[in-house]
Amino acid sequence: MSQKNQGILFIILAGFFFALMSFFVRLSGDLPTMQKAFFRNAVAAIAAVIMLMRTEEKLHIKKKSWPTLFLRSACGTIGLICNFYALDKMNIADANILNKLSPFFAIVFSIFILKEKVNKVEWTAVIIAFFGALFVVKPSFQMEFVYALIGVLGGLGAGMAYTFVRKLGNQGERGPVIVMCFSVFSSIVTLPFLIVQYKPMSVAQVLSLLAAGCCAMGGQLCITNAYTKAPAREISVFDYTQVIFAALLGLVFLGQIPDIWSLVGYVVIIGSAVFKWWYMNYGNKSGELKHN
């Protein structure tokens, strides 16, 4: 199997693991969002520390990375909490597709944080994706609209966090360090809420949250492996399989059926991602489309 095909396989596996994480979060039932977020991040934090302790550099962090690590962790924590809240209130496929707005938010934030230039095709993809999100959000005066907006905010937080991850990568910081700092930071932030709002859990709920944490870590490992096998521009579009897996899990196990407007939104958002992927890999080489 070629390196590219291995990368595609790993990123599809990552999508499956992250969809499973969403499923187990929803399966854990009526628990406070912060309680769910704490358990998800505590598992990842422990796993990341163990991985780092087995490396030569151990827990060493570059001095210049600290400010960016803090910003990455803060944005990621906000995104995670909003995403978990949306998962509790919405169809899990809808919550996942809104979280997948993050790459488009990352394009916008890269202008200000990384001083990157964005061409017309990328701006077009962003506008189309946000237009597609309206079909999922369904603006109204109902509480469902508020839940969807929180889901969008989750995608915004994740998109800003991914932009800071890219900055950290440019600074030479190690991937496991980034995962560890985010997981530890999120655990510390959610711990006070866990203590104040703690709700007793059944064995099934504990197992569901532990499974969510393990699946999240599995997704992180797979997506890291994917991007070491092939460039992001060649394989990133396959990350949207997560939405398909989430929809299937929601349909089979939770009886959730996305409405027609949500399905239209899925097609528009994923279609804009596919178009951008095609442009980055083939369109700008063929001469049919050119950078601004």
pLDDT of residue 42: 93
Answer yes or no: is 279 within a domain. Answer: yes
212 CB contacts (<8 Å, ≥6 apart)?
Answer: 20, 21, 24, 25, 28, 36, 39, 40, 43
Residues whose CB falls within 8 Å of the CB of residue 39, separated by 6 or more in sequence, listed in order: 209, 210, 212, 213
Tens-digit pLDDT profile for the chain (292 aa)? Answer: 788 899 899 989 999 999 999 999 999 999 999 999 999 899 989 988 998 999 999 999 999 999 999 999 999 999 999 999 999 999 999 999 999 999 899 999 999 998 988 889 899 999 999 999 999 999 988 899 999 999 999 999 999 998 898 888 888 888 888 889 999 999 999 999 999 999 999 999 999 999 999 999 888 888 878 877 877 777 888 989 999 999 999 999 999 999 999 999 999 999 999 999 998 888 766 544 444 4
At residue 231, the pLDDT reads 73
Q: Is 80 part of any domain?
A: yes
Q: Please check whether residue 144 lies inside any domain of the structure.
A: yes
Alpha-carbon Rg for the chain in angstroms? 19
Q: What is the pLDDT of residue 29?
A: 93
Place of tokens 């079909």: 135
Distance CA 26, CA 34 (A): 13
pLDDT score at 273:
94
Residues in the chain: 292
Q: How many domains does the chain have?
A: 1
Secondary structure class of 112 (helix, strand, coil)? helix
Residue 85 belongs to some domain of the structure: yes
Residue 96 within a domain? yes
C-alpha to C-alpha distance for 278 and 116, rounded to whole angstroms:
20
Q: What is the pLDDT of residue 123?
A: 93
Whether the Cβ atoms of residue 95 and residue 87 lie closer than 8 Å to each other: yes
- Is 39 part of a structural domain of the chain? no
How far apart are alpha carbons 286 and 282 in whole angstroms?
6
Residue reference for tokens 């489309």: 289
Range of the domain at 124: 62-172+259-292
For residue 106, is it within any domain? yes
pLDDT attached to residue 287? 46
Structural domain contains residue 158: yes
